[in-house]
């Protein structure tokens, strides 16, 4: 966290869909894309305090990918010098996922990053369930120094995409009942394969785009289409609010590049006269 601005930076990844022994749809290597995220962040000068990966860590039926995924996540953590926290999605295998760091004893837990509390929830079944919600309520009984981020795969709202409009968390209202009036500052989710920002009951919700592929909006009301574009979100928390921006790993051809001159960005009246 910047001591000058009080800004906390979260690198929010989702929907890696790592595979074992083959590429996803013959084109996508989720583990390689995790490596590219680290390289991109270093090149861009992004220095997050925290990395959160909100589920669908592996493609359904590829449980053998978890050991390699765990190694890739460890490398990302070392590259960025920030803790990497993960939750499960509907493609994940809850039994095989126990090999991942942080999941050995179960798939819901609390992590602390400085004064920030991160509640990591398991919505791999499409819902949280009464037991998990009761556990979360007990965890949030006392506020944390910098508040709480809640991370899960399924967002507590639907997508604007017609085919995904009913694909949010099935017990979303129950989750919001638990969070309302607590120190919850932000909900991080995935699943939709496109970015979405919303405020529900006064709580900001940030849905990350996917590393695996992007769900386009113009496939028609009865179709889902995935396009080969890998993206993640850069999230900033400040004392005054939350912002989230989508970042694409696509290496498009630039049409211009302008060097950044910090001196020229200072108003004339504040420059040292020479």
User: Do the beta carbons of residue 210 and residue 193 sit within 8 Å?
Assistant: yes
Distance CA 38, CA 85 (A): 15
Residue 141 in any domain: the answer is yes
pLDDT in tens, 208-256: 999 999 987 776 677 777 788 899 999 999 988 999 999 999 877 778 7
Is 3 part of any domain? no
pLDDT value at residue 146? 94
Residue 45 in domain = yes
Determine, yes or no, domain membership for 2.
Answer: no
Q: Tell which residue, 122, 191, 131, has the closest CA to residue 152.
A: 122
Range of the domain at 208: 8-270
- At residue 164, φ and ψ (nearest 5 deg) are -115, 10
Is 36 part of any domain? yes
Average pLDDT, integer, range 43-62: 96
Is 78 within a domain? yes
pLDDT digits (tens, 9 = 90+) for 10-51: 999 999 999 999 999 999 999 999 999 999 999 999 999 999
Sheet holding 148-151, edge to edge: 109-113, 116-120, 148-151, 184-189, 203-207, 196-200
Distance CA 97, CA 67 (A): 9
Q: Is the residue at 28 inside a domain?
A: yes
**Beta strand 8-13 pairing with 109-113:** unpaired
CATH number at 196 reads 3.60.21.10
The answer to the question of residue 1 being in a domain is: no
Instruction: Give the number of other CB atoms < 10 A from CB of residue 200.
Output: 17
Query: What domain count does the chain have?
Result: 1
Task: Decide if pLDDT at 266 tops 90.
Answer: no
- pTM for the whole structure: 0.90
């Amino acid at each position: 966290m910047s001591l000058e601005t009080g800004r906390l930076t979260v690198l929010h990844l989702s929907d890696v869909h790592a595979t074992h022994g083959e590429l996803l749809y013959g084109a996508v290597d989720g583990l390689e894309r995790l490596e590219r995220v680290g390289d991109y962040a270093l090149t861009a000068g992004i220095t997050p305090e925290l990395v959160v990966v909100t589920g669908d860590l592996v493609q359904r039926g590829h449980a053998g990918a978890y050991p390699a995924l765990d190694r890739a996540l460890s490398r990302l953590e070392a590259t960025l010098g920030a803790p990497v926290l993960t939750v499960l999605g509907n493609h994940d295998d809850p039994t095989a996922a126990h090999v991942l760091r942080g999941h050995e004893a179960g798939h819901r837990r609390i992590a602390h990053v400085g004064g920030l509390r991160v509640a990591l929830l398991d919505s791999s079944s499409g819902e949280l369930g009464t037991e998990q919600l009761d556990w979360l309520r007990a965890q949030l009984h006392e506020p944390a120094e910098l508040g709480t981020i809640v991370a899960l795969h399924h967002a507590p709202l639907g997508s604007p995409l017609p085919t995904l409009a009913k694909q949010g968390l099935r017990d979303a209202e129950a989750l919001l009942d638990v969070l309302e009036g607590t120190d919850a500052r932000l909900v991080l989710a995935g699943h939709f394969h496109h970015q979405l920002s919303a405020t529900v009951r006064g709580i900001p919700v940030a849905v990350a785009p996917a590393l695996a592929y992007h769900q386009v909006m113009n496939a028609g009301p009865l179709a889902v289409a995935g396009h080969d574009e890998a993206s993640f979100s850069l999230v900033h928390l400040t004392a005054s609010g939350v912002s989230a921006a989508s970042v694409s790993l696509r290496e498009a051809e630039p049409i211009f590049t302008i060097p950044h001159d910090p001196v020229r960005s200072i108003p004339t009246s504040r420059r040292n006269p020479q």
